[in-house]
Amino acid sequence: MPVRPRHTYDPELGRRIDELNKKPADTRAIADYEALGAPLGPSEDWDLEIENLAIPGPGPEIPVRVYRPAGPAPSPRPCLVWLHGGAWVGGDLDMPEAHETARGVAGRADAVVVSVDYRLCSETVHFPAPHDDVVAAYRWVRDNALELGVDPARIALGGASAGGNLAAGATLRLRDEDETPWQALLLYPLVHVPIPAPSDELAAALTQVPMPMILVDEQLEEITALMLDGAPAETAPAYMFPGRAEDLSGFPPTYIDNDEFDSLRSSGELFGEQLRAAGVEVEQVLSEGVLHGHLNIVGLGAAHATLDRLAGRLRMS
């Protein structure tokens, strides 16, 4: 099988990037960038039972969507509590990163997936509201494992982008409160502020990414100020940006999947190094040829490969 040259886009995505690059930057519209994430194929077909619920939360009830493989299981199934991305201010249970990921993992792994619609930050909602919702949702799944058909000893906590950040922060808190999840599954997470400096190799890759598709520190500072109700980024607690934690020992086995053409990759890679230094078992993967948020592109081959790997983690004993 031929080896893909480094810093070459996935062919499916590359054609779209080429079309975008043909347009002068000052003539591009939001729709031109949104077109990069349009479906490349149909949704996968899985035989699942899907149920929308509202569970108790520390504030309002928390909407969750439960995905169960149809038919009985010989024993309780593993479970993934899943968190979508959206920069902490957007996203919902219907976006592909939530719905298609949950369906794909549940079907592949014969597992239960609980997708969580945590509170989004706004002018009136700030940290730790989304963090508290995630912790409450994890505990609800654990406490209702029998009714959900879930093995309480095999409940993983995971998410993508901002959801990966929340999954890491909630895992850190649950470790501190002696409730450590079975695994942490983190997809292209941002867990540091400011964003760690890129390696020379990553910096070279980022020169090929169309602007404004790279998150920079100035944007992160604005988002963080909203999350912290105006407080500066350097005051963010470790539960908000877990890469700032002084002690990561006792963190559960962790899977980190970074996107090749993504400024946040430096954060995911550094977090993997920090966890290993603390004695944590880490599997770190680079999804080659893709931009940040590749799970949002329905039909993308690299997204299917990521779902295969996530399912493999849930099939672990």
Burial of residue 72, with CB atoms counted within 10 A of its CB: 0-12 exposed, 13-18 middle, 19 or more buried: exposed
Q: Tell me the C-alpha distance between 274 and 272, whole Å.
A: 5
Annotated active-site residue in 10, 126, 262, 266: 262
Annotated active-site residue in 84, 133, 161, 257: 161
Beta strands 62-69; 112-116: pairing state: antiparallel
| Tokens representing residue 186 in the block | 């983190």
| Tokens representing residue 39 in the block | 């479906």
Annotated active-site residue in 84, 99, 192, 292: 292
Please report, for residues 63, 126, 172, 201, the alpha-carbon distance to residue 244 in angstroms, rounded to integers and kept in the order given. Answer: 30, 19, 11, 24
Q: Tell me the C-alpha distance between 246 and 35, whole Å.
A: 41
- Element (DSSP H or E) covering residue 252: none
SS3 243: helix
- Lateral strand order in the sheet of 48-55: 48-55, 62-69, 112-116, 77-83, 150-160, 184-187, 254-261, 282-291
- Strands annotated E in 164-223: 184-187
Our answer to whether residue 126 is catalytic in this structure is: no
Please report, for residues 126, 136, 201, the alpha-carbon distance to residue 119 in angstroms, rounded to integers and kept in the order given. Answer: 9, 12, 36
Catalytic residue IDs: 161, 262, 292
